[in-house]
Amino acid sequence: MSDGTAEAGKERRPPLKTIIIIAVVVIALFTTALFFYHFNGDSLDFSNREILTVPTNSMDGEPQDYPIPTIPEDSLIMVHILSDDEKKDLKVGDVVTFHQGGIDKVHRIIEIRDNGTLVTKGDNNQSADAPITYGDVFGKVVGVSVNVGKVVSGIRTFVGSSHILIIIGAVLAIIMIATIIEIIGIVKEKPTDDDGKSPPDQ
């Protein structure tokens, strides 16, 4: 009886390949979650967020002593879309996204004036921007990824799509689904005898 129980336990043990695939998937999911946690300003709140790329070097200056020290060209940034109340908490050193002169900019606040206007400047620019109001601001940068941004910009060069993040997400989803299907297929495989042959059907 004990031999039969041991043999049954042996047959139920998942193949090494299954264990390795599951471990790889778990590590990949953990790494991805950790990346987005840090990319989101060490926060799990992903509401009112937008991911953008910075195509210019206007913020690629000497690192500043702020939470966002610098933003190299082609970086990927996480932007927290601010409510009117949240805009009142902005301070000097924050990097904001705003609309000015018909274009969207990503620059640092260098002065907040008593009349309620903000003065911004790109870290790599020689002069400051024209003053803006809180109404011109639509977001605050909470995270920067240089390496992922380079990859995204490189793919965009070949694909030529403005929806590059959707494409990357779709590719990752396909890879994940294919991996899950492979795991399911391995789990459903018939157990084999010691000689490597599948046991006969009863």
Q: Find the domain containing 175 and state its range.
A: 14-46+160-190
- Of the candidates 70, 50, 49, the residue with the CA atom closest to the CA atom of residue 61: 70
Nearest-5° Cα angle at 134, 129 to 136:
60
Same domain, 71 and 123: yes
Q: Which residues of 15-38 are buried (b: 16+ CB within 10 A; e: fewer)?
A: eeebeebbeeeeeeeeeeeeebee
Return the CATH number at 112: 2.10.109.10
Same domain, 40 and 53: no
Residue 196's pLDDT is: 47
Query: Burial, 44: exposed, middle or buried (Cβ in 10 Å; 0-12, 13-18, 19+)?
Result: exposed
Residues 61 and 82 in one domain: yes
pLDDT of residue 185: 66
What's the pTM? 0.69
**Is there a single domain that holds both residue 109 and residue 186?**
no
Tally the domains of the chain.
2
Are residues 38 and 79 located together in one domain of the fold? no
* Same domain, residue pair 182 and 119: no
Specify whether 99 is located in the same domain as 120. yes
Q: Are residues 72 and 134 in the same domain?
A: yes
- Does one domain contain both 105 and 179? no
Domain check: are 70 and 19 in the same one? Answer: no
Question: Tens place of pLDDT for every residue, the chain, 202 residues?
Answer: 555 555 555 556 667 777 887 888 888 788 878 888 888 888 888 889 998 889 899 999 999 999 999 999 999 999 999 999 999 999 999 999 999 988 999 999 999 999 999 999 999 999 999 999 999 999 999 999 998 888 777 776 666 555 556 666 666 677 667 767 766 666 565 555 545 454 544 4
Residue 120: HSE in the Cβ half-sphere, 13 Å Cα cutoff: 24
Same domain? For 115 and 185 the reply is no
pLDDT of residue 2: 52
Give the separation between CA 46 and CA 44, rounded to whole angstroms: 6
